[in-house]
């Protein structure tokens, strides 16, 4: 389950849009497109949908594992994870809604690693009593922690537990550092009786020539940022900036082939 652990560590866990299976698959396919190993010219969405028509990838227990098989042998197993609290009508053989979708890019040399990872995931879900804890989770942080527990159980050694604790600490720090930075810069604390600020994590995928995709489970934040002029340049600036009274900070960024850049960010949403 190391590819799932890597996905969690690199911020590839997202809340799925409430628009059905096709939209959920398209959403995650866009994340796979940011993988530097993926072949140029690969139509990820089309390949995913074609495979679903040939064989539904709902494996039961509320889980789907759609995947793209690479045309080359080398490369690492790569995954992106989507969560739906309401569940997705996936057409799985057991008829159950899918609450967790793990989408994979599978190089030829990683086929057995992929099969082993899916098998370990199934065992971890069964051992924990089923998908209900994920389905009933209140937010992505709760989902992340549950998945980390499953990863630790699936890998079965001390190292993953240490990594899991590290990721939890990183997530907590990412949520609190922007607030601390604001205090250092002399910004006034929340007024008495005003709702406290909220720190929300989100991601932005920027791809030439002009594609900007905001990935967040706060619809208002998505709409706000995707209309913001010059957002790619502001993200690349490396300093905190404000949009409509909200403080935004880039916590990490990764540059991929074709000039694509994946930003992990935190927004401090001002109370009202």
Tens of pLDDT, residues 111-151: 999 999 999 999 888 888 899 999 999 888 889 888 988 88
Tell me: the pLDDT tens digits for 158-214? 444 545 554 554 554 444 444 444 433 444 444 444 344 466 778 898 888 888 889
What is the chain's percent helix, strand, coil content, to nearest 5? 45, 25, 30
Q: What's 197's DSSP letter?
A: P
On whether the CB atoms of residues 199 and 266 are closer than 8 A, the answer is yes
Domains and CATH numbers, the chain: 2-156 (3.40.930.10), 198-269 (no CATH)
**Residue 265 CB: number of other CB atoms within 10 A?**
23
Q: How far is CA 46 from CA 68, 164, 189, in A?
A: 10, 34, 49
As a whole number of angstroms, the distance between CA 153 and CA 101 comes to 19
Closest CA to 68 of 125, 121, 110: 110
> For position 181, what pLDDT does the model report?
43
Please answer whether residues 85 and 140 qualify as being in contact, where contact means their C-beta atoms are separated by less than 8 angstroms: no
pLDDT score of 56: 93
- For 257, list phi and psi in degrees, rounded to 5: -60, 155
The answer to whether 242 and 248 are in contact (CB under 8 A) is yes
Query: With contact defined as beta carbons under 8 Å apart, do 100 and 82 qualify?
Result: yes
Distance set, CA 125 to CA 230, 255, 268 (Å): 43, 34, 34
Q: Report, as an integer, the average pLDDT of 3-25.
A: 86
**Which residue is associated with the tokens 């960024």?**
253
**Half-sphere exposure at residue 26, Cβ-oriented, CA atoms within 13 angstroms:** 8
- The pTM score is 0.63
| The predicted structure's pLDDT at residue 176 | 44
Does the CA dihedral 170-174-179-184 come out positive or negative?
positive
Gap between the Cα atoms of 232 and 155, Å rounded: 38
- Tell whether the model's pLDDT for residue 81 goes beyond 90: yes
Quick one: tokens of 31?
A: 């994340």
Express as a percent the part of the chain with pLDDT over 90: 26
Q: Higher pLDDT residue, 196 or 66? A: 66
Q: Quickly state the pLDDT bin for 6 (edges 50, 70, 90).
A: confident
Cβ-contact 243, 228 below 8 angstroms: yes
Q: Identify the CA nearest to 263 among candidates 224, 218, 229, 216.
A: 216
- Tokens coding 53: 């028509």
Task: Say if CB 152 and CB 158 are below 8 A apart.
Answer: no
Predicted confidence (pLDDT) at residue 47 exceeds the cutoff of 70: yes
Which of 117, 67, 58, 114 lies closest to 89, judged by CA?
58
- Model confidence at 231, in pLDDT bands (50, 70, 90)? very high
HSE-CB at 23 with a 13 A cutoff on CA atoms is 10
Chain position carrying tokens 């866990």: 13
| pLDDT averaged over every residue in the chain | 80
Per residue in 212-222, pLDDT (tens digit) is 889 887 788 88
**Residue 101: its pLDDT value, please?**
96
Q: Inform me whether the pLDDT recorded for 103 exceeds 90.
A: yes
Average pLDDT over residues 39-68: 89
In this predicted model, which residue has the larger pLDDT, 29 or 238? 29
């Amino acid at each position: 389950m190391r590819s799932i652990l890597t996905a969690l560590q690199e911020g590839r866990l997202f809340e799925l849009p409430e628009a059905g299976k096709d939209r959920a698959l398209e959403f995650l396919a866009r994340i796979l497109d940011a993988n530097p190993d993926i072949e140029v010219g690969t139509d990820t969405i089309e390949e995913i949908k074609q495979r679903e028509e040939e064989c539904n990838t709902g494996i039961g227990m509320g889980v789907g594992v759609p995947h793209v098989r690479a045309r080359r042998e080398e490369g690492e197993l790569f995954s992106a994870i989507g969560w739906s609290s309401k569940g997705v009508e996936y057409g799985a053989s057991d008829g159950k809604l899918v609450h967790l979708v793990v989408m994979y890019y599978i190089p030829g040399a990683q086929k057995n690693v992929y099969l082993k990872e899916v098998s370990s995931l199934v065992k971890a879900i069964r051992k924990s009593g089923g998908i209900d804890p994920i389905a009933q989770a209140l937010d992505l942080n709760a989902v992340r922690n549950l998945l980390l527990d499953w990863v630790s159980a699936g890998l079965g050694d001390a190292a993953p537990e240490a990594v899991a604790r590290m990721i939890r600490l990183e997530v907590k720090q990412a949520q609190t550092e922007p607030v601390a930075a604001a205090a250092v810069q002399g910004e006034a604390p929340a007024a008495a009786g005003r709702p406290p600020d909220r720190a929300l994590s989100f991601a932005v995928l920027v791809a030439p020539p002009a594609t900007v995709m905001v990935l967040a489970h706060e619809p208002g934040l998505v709409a706000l940022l995707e209309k913001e002029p010059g957002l790619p340049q502001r993200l690349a600036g490396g300093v905190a900036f404000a949009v409509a009274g909200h403080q935004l900070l880039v916590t990490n960024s990764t540059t991929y082939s074709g000039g694509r850049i994946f930003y992990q960010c935190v927004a401090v949403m001002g109370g009202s």
